[in-house]
Structure 1
Amino acid sequence: MSDFLRINRDGGVAIVTIDNPPVNALSFHLREPLMQALVELRDDASVAAVVIVCAGRTFVAGADITEFGKPVQQPDLRAIVATLESITKSTVAAIHGTALGGGLELALGCHFRVADTGAKLGLPEVKLGLLPGGGGTVRLPRLVGALKALKMIVSGAPISATEAHAAGLVDAVFEGDLTTHAVNFARELARKGGPFTPVRDRDDGLKETDLAALDAEAADLARKARGLDAPIACALSVRNAVTLPFDPALAAERALFVKLVGSDQSRAQRHLFFAEREAAKISAKDVVKRRIARIGVIGAGTMGGGIAMAFANGGYPVTLLETSHEALQRGLATIDKNYSVSVTRGSLTEDAKRQRLAQFTGSTDYADLADCDLIVEAVFEDMAVKKEVFGKLEAVAKPGAILATNTSYLDIDEIAASTSRPQDVVGLHFFSPANVMKLLEIVRAQRTAPDALATVVDLARRIGKVAVVVGVCHGFVGNRMLAARGSESEALLLEGATPRQIDQVFTDFGWPMGPFQMGDLAGLDIGWRNRKAQGLTAVIADTLCEQGRFGQKTGKGFYLYENGSRTPVPDPQVEALIRAEADEKGIAPRAISAEEIIERTLYPLINEGAKILEEGIAARASDIDIVWVNGYGFPVGKGGPMFWAGLEGAGKIIERLEYWHQRTGKDVFKPAPLLKTMAETGSWEAGATV
């Protein structure tokens, strides 16, 4: 019928094959012939059953996201599902790969669903700031129950074919040739005869809904949403499926979808969806990636152990090196403990734990790194120490092995220049805990070879990291901007704000925690050491560190942490210290507004991002957004700092930066030329390609 859809007959069973690579998205050019095919098959008396299958590696993996926010071209998905439900002969969706979003909603329009053993099914629209707009919130509860549907839809996480079968979403799970099994399944249904009840007319999952339990779960999910609208709308729509007749519930779902799709939050989350995919693109045409079979990690401390776990979790054997047997055993014991915690939580089986631990080989001899294809050092953040490690690696690493440094600030060009193989040197800035945090800043040094860069970008994807390629500068993208964000923190304290007030402004904005609580969590001594290395000071934070107040690990920092608790409690001693320092400097306390805190912390953050783009340290503004959302907790619903700058208004940001620059004389408030370009054109111009 078209380039994207074909119909074959197997006796009385019509097989509709969707073929819209790469993921069979429900684009208009597919919806139009699909609607035509369904109408023809519905009215064809020679057809006893209809099976919908997909070519390629997956069932329909969702709607065409590029169409969101644009005028809807008919037929839309709702019309196609309604047509499916008007077919009185049996209809079967044969699911392989993933049936996500609109793909699962299409399958819910069929009377029956079958899947292969490896299939995944889910409604992930919430991750785009949306709810399922093709009837998913109203039909899914009718099969799996309202509570199960609520958890699936609000989390956006897919479930396996086995779980879907147990829940009633899938009617049969097959191994082998899925199309043959699906056709035989449909033929047997046709032989038995109908009537066949569409999902919209089934209420199996709704009969015994406990509304109180549903509302309690929805309230808990709303608390976890941290200001995001979509999870709350999803919960409301599932509740409507229980309390309203089908058609009014369907209409309410659509109204909520339309409201969300036009919102800044959904625009921000869709921006991040595309930005993450764009960040993985580098200029590396005709480059043959190097083979990575074994990884070496130097340092079995918190960071090194986490990095080693990240690679082992991705299926790579790891040689973990330490300077002493005792340090090595401590590191391996910590890794074992971390995996045991995952087993206790149910996120890992004992068998999987054993398999991952079997990936580790411990050593105290650099010679044991000779067979590694990638070696990552995670030693102390000191240039002399790093160079010493790279000197030892030169003697043992095989030709072509990639030598990576996990550094947060240091000059990787200087490290590379200390070796005879700078083309093999790259920065891999993992974020702690490295086995959990998604972000990986991949730092391309001046002489990093294109094939080495392409290899580590691909490797990052294989171990489940969100990779962003950046250039060399102090702090790279994330930590350089973090320094700009924190440049006024102590000034705000001295002028009258409290740590708790500033942190509250941040959490109200949507951050998971504020800068002082985050500092206590990470350890104030880290920043203290970094400042001393640069000859910098921070009078309040330095004094706290001199008193042994490093944060949660010592029970005291900017806050108190009583009896091992992680809950911060304001400490009168810290506030007294702040006031004493202010008095000594002759600073009279005044009321500090939330708006001022935002202007003096987040506006410099954006301004530094503009400078980073000007210098070509980041290739795209969206790359900066990915760094900050995935590595530093910038609110997802605001799309990252550079996207949020567009929402906030670059002109407004410049005006307030100029005000604070005039008032303080500090360069951090001096607007970057590119920020002014943004105000004039409404878009960021990328710097030189990284």
Structure 2
Amino acid sequence: MSDVVKLERHDEVAIVTINSPPVNALSAAVRRGIFENVKTAAADPAVKAIVIACAGRTFVAGADITEFGKPPQSPGLSEVISEIENCSKPVIAAIHGTALGGGLELTLGCHFRVATKDAKLGLPEVKLGLLPGAGGTQRLPRAVGPELGVKMVVTGDPIGASEALKNGLIEEIVEGPASGAEAFARKVIAEKRPLRLLRNDDSKLAAARADRTIFTNAAAAANKKNRGMNAPLACAEAVSWTLDVPFDEALKKEREMFLKLVADDQSKAQRYAFFSEREAAKVQNVPEGVKPRSVERVAIIGAGTMGGGIAMSFANAGIPVTLIETGQEQLTRGLGIMQKNYEATAARGGIPADAPAKRMALITGKVGLENVKDVDLVIEAVFETMAIKKEVFTALDAYAKPGAILASNTSYLNIDEIAAVTKRPQDVLGMHFFSPANVMKLCEIVRADKTAPDALVTAVAVARKIAKVPAVVGVSDGFVGNRMLAARSKQSEKLLFEGALPQQVDAVVTKFGMPMGPFAMGDLAGLDIGWRSRKDRGITSPIADALCEAGRFGQKTGKGYYKYEAGSRVPVPDPEVEKLIDDTCRSLGLTRRAVSDQEILERMMYPMINEGARILEEKVASRPSDIDVIWLYGYGWPIYRGGPMFYADQVGLKQIVERLQFYAKQTNDPSLEPAALLKKLADEGKTFASLAKG
């Protein structure tokens, strides 16, 4: 018998307990243990019912995804589920924590399910570019109905115990999972309840079988945000088989679809992203045993868009935070905007009705930097100019207690220079949040030259605590994300001079899978911000400057690279912009040409990859996967493309080098010459992924 699964008998009830920390994943050893112990209990004449429970903090939280791509080991999960389902004695799943993926599929093979009140149940395989491969697409809709079934399978979002009870996924909410399930088992024995085999129960499918639109409408709603993704469509199709394909045949089709998706590039990219996110939280070049500092009190400096968003991130995680401004008027305005944001989210059903009051109660507004004196972490979010940052950090150095971490939210500026104005450079680092900070998941943690290792791991731990994805980077102009974005921005502007139009460039970028193109993004952010910054630095950008001089600042003025109808955020191509571009190019003596979509795609993506290679050369990022995490969670890179460095490996580094060399020559732009690392890897027939393997 397996060491990770134990069998005990409490007179007529057998308890099969899985104990494979940390999340009781369905490894080969766990599957074998369940299979053998259920078989043993079923054969014991003294046993009248079987409970499957888990030790530790959770029920089975999914498959062991480290086994993906390896030769399958017997028994497979479907075999285990079949053994449970066909057992002549009632089998009860005792759920606590999370029953996810294969864990939920395991419970769906049981005849009854009970759960603790805080349990979560779901099938998140779609988030790895897959579908449930052990009957989940067929049994779940039979348990909860095809409408909720397709929503759960297509979105991958779990439901809580109360919703599971209401929809028939569980029979009872219990206190202790194993003891509660045991008591339920005795009730089943006493009442001689018939076994419920979901495979044979089509009662909840009848309405959708009679009126197919019930299912198709639910599937369309669930798939609303899945542009360009294969797995959600496959999930919806698989759930639809419950309406017209016999159960055993549907199981075969589900398995075939699962294997097809496992081999698909999109799923490979999504699984890569899953592991990369976890890898990014491991800080390199930190001595073993370094522990984070205690952070109980946090202060945010600046109640503007960024400061307010960061404060909301802490409140959303249930962490009290002090929001500090230089004047009462700015503070009141900032707190008012946050209140409105919360109320709007509650009105849309995004958070409970009582959440705005609860979350705002965690945010204390104060005027004056002296209010940082008792906090453990200060995050500065003031104007993006070095002079103001230095002024703030000089004051923080005077007021903050020894050992407090002083973090800047700067998106470009040199943290070493900021740290130098303090007497505690070891406590200074960057925590670069992305706008809107209460929504965006990324936090670039900037390690300065003198940042102490324990300060660094503290920032990473805090970011994770507030549900952000941390990625540690070094000091560099724009760090990683904005530095790569600058390489793309340069090319997008040059393409306008050469013959492309904003709508053509944006269409290529959004077709690739990005949420918006560079010109629509510029209009959203406000073109006047870049214009003012260029003026300060004595830089010109003829087309962008001409737009601003004409009062076209983007969405805020109803006109930018596009025009916007009153009250609309939808960009509409504007003939006036085309004329402005033509006139500007003519005045500069430039002849425009037709630019192909393929050229646009290559000039949008390859220079960023090239800059990523330089970032790796300079050790501003430790791993190619860290760069990908930054782009996935900070810039909306489509997850099914894995990130720019993963995408580069898919395209082939040799091809990228050749095209960069071609464009460098064609456009007389030396910045497009391939980075030394990129060229070396291409010449050796290697990939960026090979760097992680040493």
Alpha-carbon distance in 1 for matches of 2:493, 2:270: 32
Using the TM superposition, name which of 669-678 and 511-520 deviates more.
669-678
Deviation (angstroms), 1:221: 4.0
Contact 2:298 2:322 in 1 (8 A): yes
Matched with 1:425 is 428
Contact 1:6 1:17 in 2 (8 A): yes
Indicate which of 573, 576, 587 corresponds to 1:573: 576
Contact 2:111 2:196 in 1 (8 A): yes
Determine helix, strand or coil for the equivalent of 1:398: coil
Alpha-carbon distance in 2 for matches of 1:282, 1:678: 25
Using the TM superposition, name which of 214-223 and 80-89 deviates more.
214-223
Matched with 1:298 is 301
Q: 2:626 is matched by which residue type in structure 1?
A: D
Deviation (angstroms), 1:190: 1.8
Q: What is the aligned length?
A: 688
Deviation (angstroms), 1:661: 1.3
Alpha-carbon distance in 2 for matches of 1:314, 1:224: 25
| 1:154-169 matched pairs, under 5 angstroms | 154-169=154-169
Deviation (angstroms), 1:642: 0.3
Write out per-residue CA displacement over residues 242-290 of structure 1, whole angstroms, 9 at most, x where no aligned residue.
Answer: 2211111111111111110100000000000000000000143222321
Alpha-carbon distance in 2 for matches of 1:531, 1:686: 39
Indicate which of 669, 682, 689 corresponds to 2:686: 682
Using the TM superposition, name which of 354-363 and 84-93 deviates more.
354-363
Q: 1:30 to 1:170 in 2, by over 3 A?
A: same
Deviation (angstroms), 1:159: 0.7
Contact 1:619 1:686 in 2 (8 A): no
Deviation (angstroms), 1:533: 4.2
Q: 1:261 to 1:662 in 2, by over 3 A?
A: same
Alpha-carbon distance in 1 for matches of 2:509, 2:648: 16
Q: 1:224 is matched by which residue type in structure 2?
A: K
Deviation (angstroms), 1:117: 0.9
Alpha-carbon distance in 1 for matches of 2:532, 2:449: 27
Matched with 2:517 is 514
Alpha-carbon distance in 2 for matches of 1:667, 1:99: 54
Q: 1:620 to 1:532 in 2, by over 3 A?
A: farther
Alpha-carbon distance in 1 for matches of 2:147, 2:588: 59
Q: 1:418 to 1:159 in 2, by over 3 A?
A: same
Q: 1:203 is matched by which residue type in structure 2?
A: D
Determine helix, strand or coil for the equivalent of 2:322: strand
| 1:262-341 matched pairs, under 5 angstroms | 262-283=263-284, 284=286, 285-341=288-344
Alpha-carbon distance in 1 for matches of 2:594, 2:108: 57
Matched with 1:351 is 354
Contact 1:138 1:250 in 2 (8 A): yes
Determine helix, strand or coil for the equivalent of 1:442: strand
Deviation (angstroms), 1:188: 1.7
Alpha-carbon distance in 1 for matches of 2:606, 2:230: 25
Using the TM superposition, name which of 457-466 and 178-187 deviates more.
178-187
Contact 2:503 2:573 in 1 (8 A): yes
Alpha-carbon distance in 2 for matches of 1:686, 1:483: 26
Deviation (angstroms), 1:223: 4.7
Q: 2:232 is matched by which residue type in structure 1?
A: P
Write out per-residue CA displacement over residues 495-551 of structure 1, whole angstroms, 9 at most, x where no aligned residue.
Answer: 221111111111111111111111111222233334344443322112212222221
Deviation (angstroms), 1:490: 1.8
Using the TM superposition, name which of 83-92 and 285-294 deviates more.
285-294
Q: 1:25 is matched by which residue type in structure 2?
A: A
Alpha-carbon distance in 1 for matches of 2:110, 2:223: 32
Using the TM superposition, name which of 642-651 and 312-321 deviates more.
312-321
Deviation (angstroms), 1:355: 1.7
Matched with 1:249 is 250
Determine helix, strand or coil for the equivalent of 2:204: coil
Deviation (angstroms), 1:222: 4.0
Q: 2:276 is matched by which residue type in structure 1?
A: A
Q: Quick check: 1:408 aligned with 2:411?
A: yes
Alpha-carbon distance in 1 for matches of 2:81, 2:244: 22
| 1:462-541 matched pairs, under 5 angstroms | 462-541=465-544
| 1:112-151 matched pairs, under 5 angstroms | 112-151=112-151
Contact 2:11 2:46 in 1 (8 A): no
Alpha-carbon distance in 2 for matches of 1:137, 1:533: 58
Contact 2:327 2:368 in 1 (8 A): no
Deviation (angstroms), 1:343: 1.4
Q: Quick check: 1:460 aligned with 2:459?
A: no
Alpha-carbon distance in 1 for matches of 2:660, 2:278: 32
Matched with 1:226 is 227
Normalising by structure 1, we get a TM-score of 0.97
Determine helix, strand or coil for the equivalent of 2:205: coil
Matched with 1:259 is 260
Contact 2:105 2:136 in 1 (8 A): yes
Q: 1:138 is matched by which residue type in structure 2?
A: Q
Using the TM superposition, name which of 69-78 and 47-56 deviates more.
69-78
Matched with 1:186 is 185
Q: 2:207 is matched by which residue type in structure 1?
A: E
Deviation (angstroms), 1:632: 0.6
Using the TM superposition, name which of 666-675 and 130-139 deviates more.
666-675
Deviation (angstroms), 1:204: 2.4
Alpha-carbon distance in 1 for matches of 2:629, 2:689: 17
Contact 1:614 1:686 in 2 (8 A): no
Using the TM superposition, name which of 566-575 and 214-223 deviates more.
214-223
Contact 2:154 2:223 in 1 (8 A): no
Q: 1:394 is matched by which residue type in structure 2?
A: D
Alpha-carbon distance in 1 for matches of 2:412, 2:439: 21
Which ranges of structure 1 fall in alignment gaps of 5 or more residues? Answer: none
Deviation (angstroms), 1:229: 0.2
Alpha-carbon distance in 2 for matches of 1:65, 1:652: 32
Matched with 1:8 is 8
Determine helix, strand or coil for the equivalent of 1:569: coil
Contact 1:613 1:686 in 2 (8 A): no
Contact 1:89 1:194 in 2 (8 A): no
Q: 2:183 is matched by which residue type in structure 1?
A: N
Contact 1:268 1:643 in 2 (8 A): yes
Matched with 1:111 is 111
Deviation (angstroms), 1:214: 1.6
Contact 2:112 2:196 in 1 (8 A): no
Alpha-carbon distance in 2 for matches of 1:511, 1:147: 30
Matched with 2:87 is 87
Using the TM superposition, name which of 123-132 and 355-364 deviates more.
355-364
| 1:37-116 matched pairs, under 5 angstroms | 37-116=37-116
Q: 2:330 is matched by which residue type in structure 1?
A: A
Write out per-residue CA displacement over residues 343-362 of structure 1, whole angstroms, 9 at most, x where no aligned residue.
Answer: 11122234322221111221
Alpha-carbon distance in 2 for matches of 1:147, 1:28: 33
Q: 2:347 is matched by which residue type in structure 1?
A: T
Matched with 2:628 is 625
Write out per-residue CA displacement over residues 557-602 of structure 1, whole angstroms, 9 at most, x where no aligned residue.
Answer: 1111111210111111111111112222333332211110011110
Which ranges of structure 2 fall in alignment gaps of 5 or more residues? Answer: none
Alpha-carbon distance in 2 for matches of 1:58, 1:462: 19
Write out per-residue CA displacement over residues 345-402 of structure 1, whole angstroms, 9 at most, x where no aligned residue.
Answer: 1222343222211112212222222111111111111000100111111221111111
| 1:601-680 matched pairs, under 5 angstroms | 601-679=604-682, 680=684
Contact 1:619 1:687 in 2 (8 A): no
Contact 2:23 2:58 in 1 (8 A): yes
Alpha-carbon distance in 1 for matches of 2:679, 2:522: 32
Matched with 1:546 is 549
Alpha-carbon distance in 2 for matches of 1:310, 1:222: 28
Normalising by structure 2, we get a TM-score of 0.97
Determine helix, strand or coil for the equivalent of 2:256: helix
Using the TM superposition, name which of 564-573 and 185-194 deviates more.
185-194
Contact 1:613 1:687 in 2 (8 A): no
Percent identical pairs in the alignment equals: 57
